[in-house]
Every structure is written in C-alpha cells, then in structure tokens.
Amino acid sequence: MGQTNVRNHAPRLGRAGAHVKFLAPLVGALALATTAHADVVQGSVSPANAKVLIKNAAGETVSELGAGAFQLRLPAGKFTAQCTAPSQKTQTFFSLAQPTTVNINCA
C-alpha cells in the first residue's frame, strides 16, 4: 500500500481575506469620523451693505457674515441668520447631512 499524504489544518484566509480583515476596522473608523464632521452650508448674503450673525439653537453666535457669497461648516442642526444691517430680519435654516444652500436677503 502506498502512503497517503493528508494535511489537516484550518483554511487560510489568503491575501484578499487578510486585506479585508485588516481594512474592516479602518472602514468603520472612517465612517464614524465622517459623521462627526460639520456639514457644508453655502449661499449668499444680500444686499451689498448686509451684515448677518449666524446663531445656533442655543442662541450663541457661531459666525458673522458680510454681503456676498459664503461657505460655512456647521454641525447638523437648526440655525438662525439674524440680519444686523440694513434691517433686523431673521431667517431659520437647517444644516443637514448633505451640502445645503441658504440665500439670506436682509433688504
């Protein structure tokens, strides 16, 4: 009778499996880091002499804007644009989980 060569061991992951095993925690960490970042709010302030305070839900000023185009990074939530010139108008807007456009007219 001939000799039988039998190997008894656990299957190996191989090169692709090792990469997946390594990258899975990294992808999870990146997903958490992405949700922690602020959202982009962009738009414009008019007229040419306008001044605006951006306040969070607690009433704290988080940014000051002049006339023209703007782009801010704000956490998700409710905000108020309070015109200080040339009028005292207010406008409520939300920072969402995606880029948001807000045009503020203080006329």
What pLDDT was estimated at residue 92? 96
What pLDDT was estimated at residue 68? 97
Which burial class, exposed, middle or buried, applies to 90 when counting CB atoms under 10 A from its CB (0-12, 13-18, 19+)?
middle
Confidence of residue 4 (pLDDT cuts 50, 70, 90): low
Distant-in-sequence, close-in-space partners of 98: CB < 8 Å, separation ≥ 6? 39
Domain housing 55: 38-105
CATH number reported for the structural domain that contains residue 51 in this entry = 2.60.40.10
Least confident of 20-24, 37-41, 85-89, 96-100: 20-24
In a domain, 32, yes or no: no
Q: For 39-76, how does the pLDDT look when each residue is reduced to its tens digit (9 = 90+)?
A: 899 999 999 999 999 999 999 999 999 999 999 999 99
Residue for token pair 């997946």:
20
Q: Is the per-residue pLDDT at 31 higher than 70?
A: no
Q: How many domains does the chain have?
A: 1
In a domain, 16, yes or no: no
pTM of this prediction? 0.65
In a domain, 91, yes or no: yes
